[in-house]
Chains A and B, each alone.
Chain A
Amino acid sequence: KTWVTKHEHHLSLSLNEASPTAVKLGQEGFKKVGRIEEDSPCPFPGLAAGVLEMRVKEGSKIRNLMGFAMARIQGEKTGSAVGGTVTGLRQVVFTGSGRAVTKTITCAEIMKRKVGCLHQMTKLRYKVVKEVWESNQGTASEMTVHRTVPSISILLSKDPLDPQEPGYQPPETLSALWEDRAGTEPSAQTTYKRPLGQLPYSGFPHCKKLCLEEEVSVLPPN
């Protein structure tokens, strides 16, 4: 049994870059059998215990994640004449690393669009992931590779957050991000604007079905 433990902070070991290690291990008949993310402290100090943390993985389905998270933040609709709605959570955290980073952002963006008036805090850092590779050529050899991958944590909150904290984003900054800059630099384009209403998904069946479904469940169909 060979145990190779590498501590590399090298660029090429990050998952999103073409990883020579992974390729090599793959070519030499190794198979990835496990992936363990090392525990790291919460990037948002002072966050209430028991806040909902959505851990987005490479294979997570956005509709599953959003179906769950939206129900929790909006409150369960009991549907009965007596019950009405139970108030939803005040805060949600989306976290993801490696190839799940884009999906994590997409989840947060969808939630911001649907819930509205959410304060956002984004934190970036490296996360150490332990990968276990196993030889599939009969010889019982196993390798552990430590690699650092970029990870993102996004806190969405109905309550205000500290605007001085790096990574803070006030509600409804869909276009303000660019218009702010236009103010500082006159030559910049000021025409960037997104329509706030429903996007013209409907005519195109190939467009994100998920958005359509979610849109229907959240907004009243018109």
Chain B
Amino acid sequence: MTEPRNPGMSSVPQSNPSHTESSSQAVEMDPVEYTLRKRLPRKLPKRRNDVYVNMKTDFRAQLARCQKLLDGGGHREICVHGLGLAINRAINIALQLQASSQGALQLAANTSTVELIDDLEPEDPDEAGEPMTRTRNNSAIHIKGQDSNPRPP
């Protein structure tokens, strides 16, 4: 959970080379560069029919996985979750599943806010910078897909 993702993605704050005398002082005020490390989102429930959609795995593979759960996995109901950018993909998957079920799959979407934590680590350990953490929010979606047709025995 604390494993850094996207290491060294950006440095905060960015120190610009000073252009004028007056700004040079401002730059000196904050000489420490930080590496922003995004912690993974808080662990959420993981049942067999919970699918967490991400942007790294191939879209078709994730769609196929959901389809398999519904078709062969013996699940009448699955939950597709998406966070941030992956919301779009989660919706897309849910709507595709619905389309391929000829409308038998009933979708119920809920939205929520997920708190995310970033770690700010000083680039240079010798500098006076203290490690910091920062909290931010991101939106999430949770789509419950339920087969509304009675299943043949």
- Chain A interface (Cβ < 8 Å from any Cβ of B): 9, 11, 14-17, 98-99, 101-102, 105-106, 108-109, 113, 120, 122-126, 150, 152, 154, 166-169, 173-174, 177-178, 181-182, 185, 188-189, 192, 194, 199-201, 204, 206-208, 211
Taking a contact as CB atoms closer than 8 A, the residue among A173, A194, A206 that contacts B110 in the complex is A173
Interface residues in B80-110 by Cβ distance below 8 A to A read 84-85, 87-89, 91-92, 94-96, 99, 106-110
A113, A174, A185, A204 interface centre (most CB from chain B within 10 Å): A204
User: What are 30 pairs between A and B in contact, CB < 8 Å?
Assistant: A11-B96, A17-B89, A17-B92, A101-B87, A101-B91, A102-B85, A102-B87, A102-B88, A105-B139, A105-B140, A105-B141, A108-B111, A109-B111, A109-B112, A113-B113, A123-B109, A124-B107, A150-B88, A150-B92, A169-B111, A174-B113, A181-B45, A192-B44, A194-B115, A199-B135, A199-B137, A201-B135, A204-B134, A204-B135, A208-B136
Q: Do B60 and A192 have beta carbons less than 8 Å apart?
A: no
Residue numbers in A under 8 Å from B131 (CB-CB): none
Q: Which residues of B contact A99 (CB under 8 A)?
A: 88
Given A102-B87, A106-B139, A206-B12, residue A122 in contact with residue B44 (CB < 8 A): no
Q: Is the CB of B136 within 8 A of A207?
A: yes
CB atoms of A11 and B85 under 8 A apart: no
Cα separation A178 to B140 with both chains bound (whole Å): 13
Majority DSSP secondary structure for residues of A touching B: mixed
Interface size class of B (residues with CB under 8 A): 35 or more
Residues of B within 8 A of A178 (CB): 44-45
Contacts A102-B87, A185-B47 given: A177-B142 contact, CB under 8 Å?
yes
Those of B16-51 within 8 Å (CB) of chain A = 42-47
Interface: B13 (CB within 8 A) = yes
Q: Which residue of B lies closest to A169 (CB)?
A: B110
When the two chains form the complex, which single residue of A9, A11, A101, A206 contacts B88, counting CB atoms closer than 8 Å? A101
Residue contact A16 to B45, C-beta cutoff 8 Å? no
Instruction: Return chain A residues, CB-CB under 8 Å to B139.
Output: 102, 105-106, 109
Q: Are B60 and A11 in contact (CB under 8 A)?
A: yes
Any A CB within 8 A of the CB of B52: no
